[in-house]
Amino acid sequence: MPELPEVETIVRDLNNKLKNKKIIAVKSLDRKVFHLTESEVKNILNRKIRGVARRAKMIIIDLVDFCLIIHLKMTGQLVLENKNSLIAGGHPIINSDKKLPNKFSRVIFKFNDKSILYFNDVRRFGWIKLMAADEFKKFSGQLGVEPLGLKFTLEYFKEILARRPKTTIKQALLDQKYISGIGNIYADESLYEAKIKPFRKVKTLTGSEIKKLWLAIPKILKYAIKHRGTSFNDYVDAMGETGNFIKYLKVYGRAGEKCKTCGGLVKKIKLGGRGTHWCGACQK
């Protein structure tokens, strides 16, 4: 599943392509993924797109009074077709001949400049929802704070950790109720940056260690966004390119390899059902 930096990369690219366009037609090919009543369709047709933004791991298409919320989940993909060009973000499932729609196409949006946005999804875990602006505001308020936002203060970070003293620090970082958008990759990398072992209980962290971690989280996320996210074999950004951050990973996906700092071996265990990576020498 793409995490915050990958979704942010898609959002920035799509914002450049979709801003100020109007949706003139929408077709749902899969009611599980997206279903609109006739009146709901009318609510979004011919409305100018004010912009494309991100909330947590979701893509938000802002239609002023309404919002289209898109979650790619594990195998979702957005493909924007404009004349003879295609740009894709998410899971790379375009057929080799690039014909669209394909058997994985679930929703199709047509715009006033004749460009078309396809939401494709192999396993149908992803979804698109339409919300009124005030409904989305309430929904957004129930999510955790953005780790790159002004509300992610040291005081807030200390407060949420204090609520879960017996939880491992890795699992605390993955709890989307408190902090939105951090997933497995960037939890491991942030903990490495802060030199904290992922399986330590929250109550064992010192004030100095909490501050180091608080500083590490936005640093790692911003650095990943700069390099357009992390790409393995199933992720490309909205320009159809792979992210470059994989070259800069210090521990994630490097089990059995030498630590880039001390030369020791990077280790891996299962923690809360998630593969977890750390350096036994660098992290305490």
CATH node for 4-141 = 3.20.190.10
**Which residue positions in the chain have pLDDT lower than 70?**
93-98, 230-244
> Letter for the amino acid at 181?
G
pLDDT of residue 91: 79
Nearest 5°: the CA angle 188, 186, 218 is: 120
**Torsion of Cα atoms, 34 then 39 then 45 then 50, to 10°:** -80
**Given 22, 50, 260, 274, which residue is catalytic?**
274
Topology, domain 154-279: Helicase, Ruva Protein; domain 3 (1.10.8)
Specify whether 135 is catalytic. no
pTM across the whole model: 0.89
CA distance linking residue 50 with residue 57, whole number of Å: 20
Q: Could you check whether 4-141 and 154-279 share the same CATH topology?
A: no
Chain-centroid distance, C-alpha 211? 24
Say if strands 85-90 and 274-279 run parallel, antiparallel, or are unpaired.
Answer: unpaired
Per-residue buried b or exposed e for 60-87, using 16+ beta carbons within 10 Å of the residue's own CB: bbbbeebbbbbbbbebbbbbbbeeeeeb
Specify whether 274 is catalytic. yes
Residues 6+ apart with CB under 8 A from 99: none
Q: In angstroms, what CA-CA distances link 134 with 62, 64, 141?
A: 12, 10, 11
CA distance linking residue 85 with residue 116, whole number of Å: 11
**H/E element, 26:** strand 23-28
The DSSP letter of residue 79 is E
pLDDT of residue 242: 56
CA-based nearest residue to 73, from 32, 128, 31: 128
Residue 253: left (phi > 0), alpha (psi -120 to 50), or beta? left
Specify whether 57 is catalytic. yes
Any idea where the domains of the chain sit in the sequence?
4-141, 154-279
Q: What is the SS3 assignment for 71?
A: strand
pLDDT of residue 86: 78
Specify whether 92 is catalytic. no
CA distance linking residue 243 with residue 129, whole number of Å: 27
**Given 3, 81, 146, 189, which residue is catalytic?**
3
**Given 54, 55, 57, 228, which residue is catalytic?**
57
